[in-house]
Amino acid sequence: MNVTSTSFPYGESIHWFSPQKIDSLPHSQLKDWLLATGSLTKRLKTHCKLFEVRVLGEHLLQPLADEFPTQTDPVWIREVLLCLDGIPWVFARTLIPQIILDSQHKNNGHQPNDFTRLGTRPLGELLFNSPDITLGNIEVAQFETCGRLAALATSLNQKVNSSLWGRRRYFNLYGSQLIVSEIFLPAAVEYINQS
Ligand SMILES: C=C(O[C@@H]1C=C(C(=O)O)C=C[C@H]1O)C(=O)O
């Protein structure tokens, strides 16, 4: 994998749609993965022997234009690759407002479990095991073959024959929201659509 953290952040501006409004959702098994509400980590782990989170970068940064309209200040941005048996399947980009980081520190003190100290532990293990966190809306988007994420897939030696599909989910906590976007890379799409 010649992808390095020197190119972080990889995220690209895109217009996200409510699934109800986009009539061109993929008519394949991928649609089920895009709209599933449970932990993606948990589901991915059932399809491999070794599951890894490869952190591409995490830092307080300005969101992309229109990515997080309610946030004018920098947010904690974490980008990772979710890898199954060494193959990157998902590029994930998470945006966490400072108010959530502050509330977490106020409520729990500086714990290994806080969002800024995850390291290679999957974020989902926090999000789906906390009674304070509820799942909000889900949106979908299609990333063109000429975009930054397609270039990332190519640099991972994955052939991009068609646009990439992604979804993003809002999680509610401490009176605010964090956003988790997940883009399915060609290796994942090939496996999912054959299964
Ligand atoms: C939100 C989840 O956590 C996963 C793990 C992530 C991480 O470690 O940064 C990011 C996105 C998710 O695919 C999940 O498992 O559903």
Per residue in 83-102, pLDDT (tens digit) is: 999 999 999 999 999 999 99
Contact 174, 153 (CB under 8 A): no
Assigned domain for 174 exists = yes
User: What b/e string do you get for 156-184 counting C-beta neighbours within 10 Å, with b at 16 or more?
Assistant: bebebeebbbbbbbebebbebbbbbbbbb
Assigned domain for 116 exists = yes
Q: Residue 91 Cα, ligand 1 centroid: separation in angstroms?
A: 10
Q: Residue 150 Cα, ligand 1 centroid: separation in angstroms?
A: 20
Assigned domain for 97 exists = yes
Assigned domain for 4 exists = no
- Closest approach atom of ligand 1 to CA 171: 1
Q: What is the pLDDT of residue 137?
A: 96
Joined together, the tokens standing for residue 162 give 């068609």
**Could you give the CA distance from residue 178 to residue 155 in angstroms, rounded to a whole number?**
28
Residue 24 has pLDDT above 80, yes or no: no
**Could you give the CA distance from residue 82 to residue 39 in angstroms, rounded to a whole number?**
13
Q: Is 121 annotated as a binding residue?
A: no
- Closest approach atom of ligand 1 to CA 44: 15
Per residue in 96-119, pLDDT (tens digit) is: 999 999 988 887 766 656 899 999
Q: Residue 69 Cα, ligand 1 centroid: separation in angstroms?
A: 22
* Total residue count of the chain as it appears in this document: 195
What is the pLDDT confidence band of residue 1, given thresholds at 50, 70 and 90?
A: very low
Q: Is 78 annotated as a binding residue?
A: yes
Q: Report the pLDDT averaged over residues 50-65.
A: 96
pTM of model > 0.80: yes
Residue 134 has pLDDT above 80, yes or no: yes
Assigned domain for 151 exists = yes
Assigned domain for 1 exists = no
Task: Quote the strand ranges of the chain, DSSP E.
Answer: 51-61, 75-84, 87-96, 134-143, 164-173, 176-184
Assigned domain for 38 exists = yes
Q: Report the pLDDT averaged over residues 133-145.
A: 94
Q: Residue 22 Cα, ligand 1 centroid: separation in angstroms?
A: 24
- Closest approach atom of ligand 1 to CA 43: 15
CATH number of the domain bearing residue 94: 3.40.1410.10
Count structural domains, the chain: 1
Which residues form ligand 1's pocket by a CB distance below 6 Å? 39-41, 53, 78, 80, 82, 90, 92, 94, 122-124, 127, 180, 182
**Could you give the CA distance from residue 76 to residue 18 in angstroms, rounded to a whole number?**
24
Domain that holds residue 41: 27-194
Q: Residue 41 Cα, ligand 1 centroid: separation in angstroms?
A: 6
Q: Is 123 annotated as a binding residue?
A: yes
From 86, 108, 88, 105, select the one nearest 96 (Cα to Cα).
Answer: 105
Which spans in 91-159 are helix H? 98-108, 123-127, 148-155
